[in-house]
Amino acid sequence: MAITACVFDAYGTLFDVAAAARVAAEQPGQEDLAAVWPKLATDWRAKQLQYTWLRAVTGDHVSFWDVTTDALDWAMEAAGLDDPVLRETLRALYWELPAYNEVPKMLATLKADGMTTAILSNGSPDMLEGAVAFGGVGLWLDEVISVEDVGVFKPSHAVYNLVESRLGKAKENVLFVSANGWDAACATSYGFQTAWINRAGEPTDRLPGKPAHVLSDLTTLPELVKGL
């Protein structure tokens, strides 16, 4: 069946989650952070995802902002950074994550081709509103869908179900796009067509579903869609 909607994960897919630590490390007086920011960014993201999975399993749901802050606190302790001012700087910068360079043109091309476009994210509505505004991509999005509508994080099928209820699109008509291999794999098992944006060249996750398509970034996504 033809693809009529492209649905994107937000963090790490459209928006650069490493930017908060990178930008903070460039500020004057942040020599300690500058020495460890790649590790902090990696740990922050890893713990953020781990906490969403664990909370999805246990049913102890909180907002994605709470999860993000808990993950930052873990990452800062692991990096030996005890600095309340830096903590608040990093938290503030997470609301100002830039879109990857290819994102505006890619979304504009999809819209020009008549595609429905949307975000489906673990992010809370206020976080997503801020990211879309700062990234300057709202003009090319039909919907921004948050897991808060169902109170559980991905990869719960309750989250993926939101696409049909909000967009009115059958799963067979949806290309789900994520930079998270596990997300693309689970979305495949759910029944979406999928594209994994494998920016880091990682191995494929050993899960029941496998991403149908693998790209190094989003530049060629409109071409892929035309061929489906």
> 91 and 139 in one domain?
no
Percent of the chain surpassing pLDDT 90: 100
Q: Taking 90 as the threshold, does the pLDDT of residue 192 lie above it?
A: yes
Range of the domain at 37: 19-96
At residue 215, the pLDDT reads 98
Write down the mean pLDDT value for the chain. 97
The question of whether 70 is a catalytic residue gets the answer: no
Q: Is 152:120 a contact under the CB 8 Å cutoff?
A: no
Predicted confidence (pLDDT) per residue in 145-188, tens digit: 999 999 999 999 999 999 999 999 999 999 999 999 999 999 99
Place of tokens 């999005």: 141
Domain end (from 75, 96, 117): 96
What predicted TM-score, i.e. pTM, was given to this entire model?
0.96
> 104 and 134 in one domain?
yes
Structure tokens, 219: 């530049």
> 76 and 124 in one domain?
no
> 119 and 215 in one domain?
yes
Mean pLDDT of 131-158: 98
Domain end (from 57, 80, 96): 96
Domain end (from 96, 123, 151): 96
Q: Give the SS3 label for residue 210.
A: coil
CATH number at residue 183: 3.40.50.1000
> 139 and 83 in one domain?
no
- The Cα 212–Cα 98 span in angstroms is 27
> 205 and 127 in one domain?
yes
> 207 and 126 in one domain?
yes
Q: Which of 9, 16, 43, 183 is catalytic?
A: 9
- The Cα 181–Cα 23 span in angstroms is 26
Percent of the chain surpassing pLDDT 70: 100
> 129 and 56 in one domain?
no
The structural domain count of the chain equals 2
Is the preceding omega at residue 104 within 30 degrees of 0, hence cis?
no
Predicted confidence (pLDDT) per residue in 50-76, tens digit: 999 999 999 999 999 999 999 999 999
1 confidence band (pLDDT: 50, 70, 90): low
> 50 and 131 in one domain?
no
Is the preceding omega at residue 155 within 30 degrees of 0, hence cis?
yes
